């Protein structure tokens, strides 16, 4: 029994040593750098700018401001590369902003503890802990940078650390045996190509623009005058049929650009999902038929078109496609914003 306790105590010492970055085994050399220095340095940061890639949502950039707790920022600005929408969170509330149209959807609630906020303070520490043993942590030092490689059970990750500040300046997932595990999370960082600290964010970045157009529904922030179907000169019924017919052809052909332009639902798809769709089409299991089964009808400010979608696998689905009209920059545009069965895109 005494021997068992000794083994457990020795294992605990090794794990503590890994997390603190200090090797406590007599045969292990003491590195000049210790990962505990990075953990301590992160606790002192006031702002951080990150640019990288999420597993599910793709490329992004993010600004955060802190006041003593790097796991709970006081202000957050989060945007996706190539997308007009960004999300801003502050003590005053949370709002989505379309930088192209200056439309915002505002909610006076505090989301700074929600799962969509990147937990920067524990990001490095958690990765190191996942290594589990000292053998799983490899540290390489030179004058320009310190490399910390963590070889965990499911994935291998690598941090590039500034030798002066001891702060991470880059993060890379070198190997991942189970990417779907990470994609099931609300946000999971795959790479960070750029990390900067304690810089002043752009003026007004975290504030609601004074001239912004406040919209009632979140989906109204997603539309822009560069997409949708131009409905000028058409009746509402004609426009509804036209947008569904164009969507039908694009769905059968897997025309990603057209689908994203007309149907907001497809903008939610990641590149992994698009890859799966293309494979389904190659295998003859994707959309085979897309039939309009009834006349367009109106309910309030929304329009619906009944359709039946048949897959190559033999499965079929009926939907009432939901369409909304907007006046943007002197044009009447319509968009498919969801369906009666599945609700509105958000």
The per-residue pLDDT for range 35-45, each reduced to its tens digit, is 889 989 999 99
pLDDT digits (tens, 9 = 90+) for 54-105: 887 888 999 999 998 888 899 999 998 888 889 999 888 888 999 999 999 9
pLDDT at 313: 87
CATH of 1-217, one of 2.50.20, 2.40.160, 1.10.3470, 2.60.40: 2.50.20
Q: Residue 292 — very low, low, confident or very high, per pLDDT cuts 50/70/90? A: very high
pLDDT tens, residue by residue, 257-286:
999 999 998 988 877 789 999 999 999 999
Contact 72, 113 (CB under 8 A): yes
Distance of CA 60 to the CA centre of its chain: 7
> What does the pLDDT read at residue 132?
66
pLDDT digits (tens, 9 = 90+) for 197-215: 999 999 999 988 889 999 9
User: What does the pLDDT look like over 173-193, one tens digit per residue?
Assistant: 888 887 777 777 777 888 999
The SS3 assignment for 61 reads strand
> What number of other Cβ atoms are within 10 A of residue 38's Cβ?
22
Q: Is the dihedral of CA 256, 331, 246, 240 positive or negative?
A: positive
- Domain ranges in the chain are 1-217, 223-344
Predicted local confidence at residue 133, as pLDDT: 63
Please name the fold of domain 223-344: Nuclear Transport Factor 2; Chain: A, (3.10.450)
C-beta of residue 331 within 8 angstroms of C-beta of residue 311? no
Closest CA to 262 of 296, 217, 224: 224
Provide the pLDDT for residue 224: 93
DSSP at 93: E
**Residue linked to tokens 């895109």:** 345
Rg (CA), the chain: 25
**Helix intervals (H) in the chain:** 2-20, 35-42, 120-131, 179-183, 236-253, 256-262, 271-282
Mean pLDDT, rounded, of the chain: 85
CA distance 172 to 232: 48
Of 135 and 92, the one with more pLDDT: 92
Look up the pTM and report it: 0.76
Q: Three-state DSSP class for 12?
A: helix
Query: Which residue's entry shows tokens 């939907």?
Result: 319
Give the model's pLDDT for residue 13: 30
Q: At 333, list the tokens.
A: 């545009």
SS (H, E, C) 197-228: ECCCCCCCCCCCCCCCEECCCHHHHCCCCCCC
């Amino acid at each position: 029994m005494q021997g068992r306790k000794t083994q457990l105590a020795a294992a605990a010492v090794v794990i503590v040593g890994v997390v603190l970055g200090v090797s406590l085994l007599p045969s292990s050399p003491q590195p000049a750098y210790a990962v505990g220095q990075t953990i301590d340095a992160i606790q002192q940061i006031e702002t951080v700018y990150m640019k990288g890639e999420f597993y599910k949502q793709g490329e992004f950039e993010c600004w955060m401001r802190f006041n003593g707790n790097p796991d709970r920022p006081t202000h957050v600005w989060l945007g996706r590369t190539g997308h007009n929408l960004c999300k801003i969170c502050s003590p005053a509330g949370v709002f989505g902003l379309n930088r192209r149209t200056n439309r915002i959807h505002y909610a006076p609630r505090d989301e700074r503890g929600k799962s969509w906020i990147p937990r920067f303070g524990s990001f490095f520490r958690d990765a190191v802990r996942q290594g589990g043993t000292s053998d799983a942590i490899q540290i390489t030092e030179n004058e320009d940078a310190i490399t910390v490689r963590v070889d965990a059970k499911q994935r291998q990750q690598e941090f590039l650390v500034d030798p002066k500040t001891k702060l991470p300046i880059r993060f890379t997932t070198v190997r991942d045996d189970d990417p779907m595990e990470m994609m099931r999370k609300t946000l999971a960082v795959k790479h960070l190509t750029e990390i900067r600290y304690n810089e002043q964010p752009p003026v007004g970045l975290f504030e609601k623009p004074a001239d912004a157009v406040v919209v009632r529904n979140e989906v109204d922030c997603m539309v822009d005058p560069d997409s949708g179907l131009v409905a000028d000169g058409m009746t509402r019924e004609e426009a509804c049929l036209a947008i569904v017919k164009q969507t039908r052809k694009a769905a059968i052909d897997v025309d990603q650009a057209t689908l994203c332009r007309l149907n907001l639902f497809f903008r939610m798809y990641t590149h992994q999902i698009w890859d799966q769709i293309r494979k389904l089409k190659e295998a003859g299991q994707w959309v085979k038929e897309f039939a309009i089964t009834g006349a367009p009808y109106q309910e309030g400010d929304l329009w619906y078109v009944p359709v039946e979608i048949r897959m190559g696998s033999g499965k079929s689905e009926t939907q009432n496609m939901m369409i909304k009209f907007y006046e943007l920059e002197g044009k009447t545009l319509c968009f498919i914003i969801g369906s009666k069965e599945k609700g509105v895109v958000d």
